[in-house]
């Protein structure tokens, strides 16, 4: 590409970025559309206009949740997509990946949910709550039923929290996040529609954590050995007709590597202002597309109704928008984070009487050297990543919280790429350079493996750039994308990895949801993972300090008091670099104009209110 063409391309990117310019409302810490630039179709709702919150409406003894949105039309379907191999389970209590969690959450509601615009906690299966000191008395909706017609009662709530979550079955992240000064909350039944939680002391994230799904006791415990078989329950081999659920949609069909189809639950407890049962849509379909390129092709062929656009595709889609059947929304900074995790694990296991380290000793020395990790940090060219991979639709990231989050530490300014700084850090730890290659003080050439999930073209492109960046400080990198489930197994079971490019979803309003990543005993403590029931040892002082910070922050109720603790944990991660953050993408979505009742949100995305969405042209009842 000659210089003139390069200048034109850069100018086009600059114009595009201005067209997608974000303004930030400092009072509410939300990104909003510049109304002078991006304009959605006339029928769509402007981003971050107040979403009318559903209200309780009691009819014939049933405490319905009534939508306050315009009356829609019944019928039709929305087709979305998921990248990778599809769900690994439909059990909301055992899922550990985003795809499985999304599919399970379609079918099971919790006691509470989140206001998509403000982040405040709202009742869901709960009708109301009385808070009396450390006692939380929750009143359930009366007359609400499971998909098989049986009532949803306090017994289901007690069973879920006492016999599943607090018992440590499945994914223990929710239970671990509920521990207050070494104790779990107590729960008791007051009557069929009232339960009481008693916590040791006031706990800021408590209500938000009660958004965990509620399980039907009669269905989950129908077999005598249900606890022993819990991890296999609701596997992807299950007959959809056998599933008992509470959500707006229930599983209709799963074809591995092809699609997941959900159909409306006729027993759902939400109604519109005419008293008609929601949801409007007959089906929600997720196509399993394998990779981002297939996703784009399917959207352009009209097979998908919505898509998340990567930076390189935004200009082309924006140019065609006015004459198309879709509208583009800019939702601001992504709620999740993209990063490189470093395997600092020093643990081992015994096989046939011999010690086998999860990470070879020489690599343990490298990865546990702060100078080595910081050298990688300084060698990374984030600006080039933003321009060449995200096409300017991102900002360099240096913190564990997204810039969209209210607890984001804006005092951490980060740094530019500095190869000389990186090399000096390595020399300070006894590393040396020979013919452009890096060697440790024992004479070992520094050669490491880098992995990410295959099919995610953005992460694959990041891997190529990281390999090139680290070559500039003499590190030989073997980069190999692998299938996502295999990658997860490496992280959580075998611990056999060096560096991994990964992303985690996050909550812009509650850092405590990330306790399972940052707490030293957390099940997703990536950089120093341990096997279940393995004794904690070799916990570094700064890891212990992060444990303390998360414990203290959860017990403070004011925003300012909590923020100082979360600011400090972010500063520690920046200083120690066990996880090296790359950039924060700007979320750009394209969605078909035919989809109505959209209230796009910087916190919750586009189609969080599936129960209320409808297709223009569907049929009235």
Residue 62 lies in a domain: no
Residues 212 and 359 in one domain: no
pLDDT at 258 over 80: yes
The total number of structural domains in the chain stands at: 2
Residue 43 lies in a domain: no
**Nearest to residue 184, comparing CAs of 196, 197, 195, 193?**
197
The 10s digit of each residue's pLDDT in 116-126 is 988 889 999 99
Q: Is the dihedral of CA 215, 221, 227, 233 positive or negative?
A: negative
Q: Which of 232, 247, 274 is the last residue of a domain?
A: 232
How much is the pLDDT for 532? 58
How would residue 536 be classed by pLDDT, with cut points 50, 70 and 90?
Answer: low
Residue 313 lies in a domain: no
If DSSP codes are grouped into helix, strand and coil, which group holds residue 95?
Answer: coil
How much is the pLDDT for 45? 35
How much is the pLDDT for 49? 58
CA angle 521-527-531, nearest 5°? 45
Residues 440 and 563 in one domain: yes
How much is the pLDDT for 32? 25
Say how far apart CA 618 and CA 621 lie, in whole Å.
10
The least confident of 19-23, 168-172, 261-265, 309-313 is 19-23
CA angle 468-473-479, nearest 5°? 35
Tell how far CA 314 is from the center of its chain. 23
Could you write out the DSSP letters of every residue in 475-498? -EEEEEEE-HHHHHHIIIII---S
Tokens of 243: 């599933």
Residue 252 lies in a domain: no
Say how far apart CA 50 and CA 28 lie, in whole Å.
13
Residue 307 lies in a domain: no
Tokens of 535: 């004794």
Share of the chain above pLDDT 90, in %: 69
Q: Which of 232, 255, 278 is the last residue of a domain?
A: 232
Q: Strand order in 270-271's β-sheet?
A: 55-59, 62-66, 270-271
Contacts of 231 (CB under 8 A, 6+ apart): 91, 94, 169, 170
Say how far apart CA 80 and CA 613 lie, in whole Å.
14
How would residue 493 be classed by pLDDT, with cut points 50, 70 and 90?
Answer: confident
Neighbours of 271 (CB within 10 A): 19
CATH number at residue 172: 3.90.76.10
Residues 354 and 205 in one domain: no
pLDDT at 557 over 90: no
- Give the residue with greater pLDDT, 605 vs 448: 448
Contact, 249 vs 106, CB < 8 A? yes
Tokens of 286: 């997720």
pLDDT at 71 over 80: yes
DSSP state of 541: H
Q: What mean pLDDT comes out for the span 566-576?
A: 97
Residues 221 and 346 in one domain: no
pLDDT at 312 over 80: no
Contact, 69 vs 597, CB < 8 A? yes
**Nearest to residue 168, comparing CAs of 156, 187, 184?**
184
Cis? peptide before 279, omega within 30° of 0: yes
How much is the pLDDT for 535? 55
Could you write out the DSSP letters of every residue in 152-163? P-HHHHHIIIII
The residue whose two tokens read 């197994």 is 489
Residue 10 lies in a domain: no
Contact, 284 vs 249, CB < 8 A? yes
The least confident of 224-228, 346-350, 452-456 is 346-350
How much is the pLDDT for 534? 56
C-alpha radius of gyration, the chain, whole number:
25
Residues 212 and 344 in one domain: no
**Predicted structure pTM score:** 0.79
The residue whose two tokens read 């190999």 is 480
Q: Which of 189, 204, 232 is the last residue of a domain?
A: 232
The 10s digit of each residue's pLDDT in 363-376 is 999 999 999 999 99
- Give the residue with greater pLDDT, 33 vs 481: 481
How much is the pLDDT for 569? 97
The least confident of 53-57, 243-247, 331-335 is 331-335
How much is the pLDDT for 530? 74
How would residue 132 be classed by pLDDT, with cut points 50, 70 and 90?
Answer: very high
**Nearest to residue 195, comparing CAs of 241, 148, 242, 159?**
159
* 79, 285, 390 from 326: Cα distances, Å: 14, 18, 22
Neighbours of 232 (CB within 10 A): 12
Tokens of 524: 């997703």
Say how far apart CA 236 and CA 256 lie, in whole Å.
8
Residues 351 and 215 in one domain: no
Contact, 474 vs 437, CB < 8 A? yes
Residues 215 and 358 in one domain: no
How much is the pLDDT for 59? 97
How much is the pLDDT for 347? 81
How much is the pLDDT for 5? 34
DSSP state of 601: B
pLDDT at 327 over 50: yes
Residue 237 lies in a domain: no
Residue 600 lies in a domain: no
CATH number at residue 561: 3.10.105.10
Share of the chain above pLDDT 70, in %: 90
Tokens of 403: 């810039």
Contacts of 581 (CB under 8 A, 6+ apart): 337, 338, 339, 397, 398, 399, 400
Average model confidence (pLDDT) across the chain:
88
pLDDT at 589 over 60: yes
Tell me which residue range forms the domain holding 483: 337-585
Tokens of 293: 């390129």
194-198/121-123 β-pairing: unpaired
- Give the residue with greater pLDDT, 175 vs 36: 175
């Amino acid at each position: 590409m000659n210089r003139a063409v390069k200048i034109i391309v850069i100018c086009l990117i600059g114009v595009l970025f201005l067209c997608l310019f974000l303004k930030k409302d400092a009072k509410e810490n939300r990104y909003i559309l510049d109304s002078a630039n991006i304009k959605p179709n006339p029928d769509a709702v402007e981003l971050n206009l107040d979403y009318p919150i559903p209200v309780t409406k009691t009819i014939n003894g049933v405490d319905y949740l009534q939508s306050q949105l315009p009356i829609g039309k019944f019928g039709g379907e929305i087709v979305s997509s998921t990248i990778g191999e599809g769900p690994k389970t439909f059990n909301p209590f055992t899922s550990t990946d985003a795809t499985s969690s999304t599919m399970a959450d379609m079918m099971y509601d919790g006691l509470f949910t989140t206001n998509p615009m403000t982040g405040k906690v709202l009742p869901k299966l709960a009708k109301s709550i009385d808070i009396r000191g450390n006692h939380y008395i929750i009143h359930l909706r009366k007359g609400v039923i499971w998909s098989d017609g049986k009532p949803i009662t306090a017994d289901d709530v007690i069973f879920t929290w006492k016999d599943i979550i607090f018992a440590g079955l499945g994914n223990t992240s929710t239970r671990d996040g509920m521990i207050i000064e070494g104790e779990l909350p107590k729960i008791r039944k007051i009557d069929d529609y009232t339960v009481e939680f008693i916590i040791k002391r006031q706990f800021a994230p408590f209500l938000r954590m009660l958004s965990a799904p509620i399980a039907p006791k009669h269905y989950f415990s129908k077999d005598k050995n249900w606890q022993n078989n819990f991890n296999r329950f609701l596997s992807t081999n299950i007959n959809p007709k056998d599933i008992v659920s509470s959500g707006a949609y229930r599983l209709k069909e799963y074809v591995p590597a092809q699609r997941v189809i959900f159909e409306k639950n006729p027993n759902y407890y939400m109604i519109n202002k005419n008293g008609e049962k929601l949801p409007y849509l007959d089906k929600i379909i997720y196509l399993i597309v394998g990779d981002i390129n297939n996703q784009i092709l399917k959207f352009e062929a009209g097979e998908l109704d919505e898509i998340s656009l990567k930076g390189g595709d935004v200009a082309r889609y924006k140019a065609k928008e006015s004459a198309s059947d879709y509208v583009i929304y800019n939702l601001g900074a992504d709620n999740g984070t993209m990063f490189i995790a470093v395997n600092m694990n020093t643990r081992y296991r015994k096989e046939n009487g011999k010690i086998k380290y999860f990470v070879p000793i020489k690599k343990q020395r490298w990865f546990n050297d702060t100078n080595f990790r910081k050298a990688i940090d300084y060698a990374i060219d984030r600006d080039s990543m933003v321009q060449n991979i995200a096409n300017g639709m991102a900002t360099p990231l240096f913190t564990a919280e997204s810039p969209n989050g209210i607890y984001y530490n804006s005092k951490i300014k980060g740094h530019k790429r500095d190869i000389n700084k990186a090399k000096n850090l390595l020399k300070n730890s006894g590393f040396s350079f020979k013919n452009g290659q890096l060697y440790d003080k024992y004479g070992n050439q520094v050669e490491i493996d880098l992995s990410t999930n295959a099919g995610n073209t953005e992460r694959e492109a990041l891997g190529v750039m990281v390999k090139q960046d680290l070559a500039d400080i003499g590190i030989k990198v073997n980069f190999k994308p692998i299938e996502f489930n295999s990658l997860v197994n490496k992280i959580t079971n075998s611990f056999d990895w060096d560096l991994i490019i990964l992303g985690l979803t996050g909550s812009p309003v509650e850092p405590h949801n990330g306790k399972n990543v940052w707490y030293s005993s957390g099940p997703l403590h990536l950089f120093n993972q341990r096997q279940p029931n393995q004794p904690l040892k070799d916990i570094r002082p700064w890891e212990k300090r992060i444990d303390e910070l998360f414990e203290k922050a959860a017990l403070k109720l004011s925003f300012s008091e909590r923020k100082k603790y979360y600011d400090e944990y972010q500063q520690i991660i920046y200083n120690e670099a066990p996880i090296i953050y790359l950039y924060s993408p700007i979320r750009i979505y394209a969605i078909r104009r035919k989809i109505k009742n959209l209230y796009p949100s910087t916190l919750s995305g586009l189609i969080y209110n599936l129960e209320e969405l409808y297709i223009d042209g569907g049929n009235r009842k």
